[in-house]
Amino acid sequence: MSRPVRTFYRVILVLLVALAIIAAFWFGLVPQRLSPFSPISLETRQWFVEPRLSSLRHDPELCQSVLKAPHIDATPIPDSPIKNGCGWTNAVRFSTTGGAKIGVNPLTCEMAAAVTLWVEHEVQPLAMEMFGKRVVALGDMGTYDCRNIIGSRNPFLKGMRSEHAKANALDISGFTLEDGRNINVLRDWSDKGPEGRFLHEAHRRACRYFRVTLGPEANEAHKNHFHFDRGLLWTCK
């Protein structure tokens, strides 16, 4: 075998190993004890959020150690074994996150952590900066729903189960401030004032924590809410 051919195969091997390592983190297959990253914390904004969130996927014990008051009032719930593409594992229920009320049941642990980080370290500071008021409630349009993806123009996604079918997605329709003001995605997204700017910036900042972040500009199906999930795809629009 000639040297160029050997070099080519070595490069391919290195690339395959690199892809395997990335995939292991992506699917949450690397146990926390083997990870080069410290466990995710809800206390502060951190680097390397993606692999740290992924490590929660298959680790209920780690999940319970991370999802703690005062950041979130999460309670573990029994698994619902996946059947016909629907069900969940390692999920929780909660009624407050990042100081805002919301009724969520069920939602996967890694999604619950991502939501809390987004609300506490992005949404709340943004609301204080723009309105001088904290967000006290989130408009929740649901988590678990055994159905396929809707609204996508991508033909490859037609017939594919939504992340909602695995309790791995959350839809948010708006925000209520402590003075009673309501900021609504459907009504205020196109507003040129502070409400519209707040929604656009909250949406942009969500992309740090969720693999899929969709809003009114994604498609007609999302004109009235933000869709967040931590599935296999990655997009922010």
pLDDT digits (tens, 9 = 90+) for 180-207: 999 999 999 999 999 999 999 999 999 9
> What is the per-residue pLDDT for 109?
97
pTM to 2 decimal places: 0.90
> What is the per-residue pLDDT for 66?
97
- pLDDT of 113 over the 70 cut: yes
Structure tokens at 127: 């609301």
User: Could you give the C-alpha distances from 28 to 50, 62, 221, in angstroms and in order?
Assistant: 10, 12, 30
> What is the per-residue pLDDT for 52?
92
CA distance 30 to 35: 6
Least confident window among 43-47, 113-117, 121-125, 135-139: 43-47
Of the pLDDT bands very low, low, confident and very high (cuts 50, 70, 90), residue 13 is low
Average pLDDT over residues 212-217: 97
Average pLDDT over residues 172-176: 98
Strand partners, 148: 161
Residue from 58, 56, 57 nearest 66 by CA: 56
Most confident of 35-44, 91-100, 140-149: 91-100
Of the pLDDT bands very low, low, confident and very high (cuts 50, 70, 90), residue 17 is low
> What is the per-residue pLDDT for 150?
83
Of the pLDDT bands very low, low, confident and very high (cuts 50, 70, 90), residue 22 is low
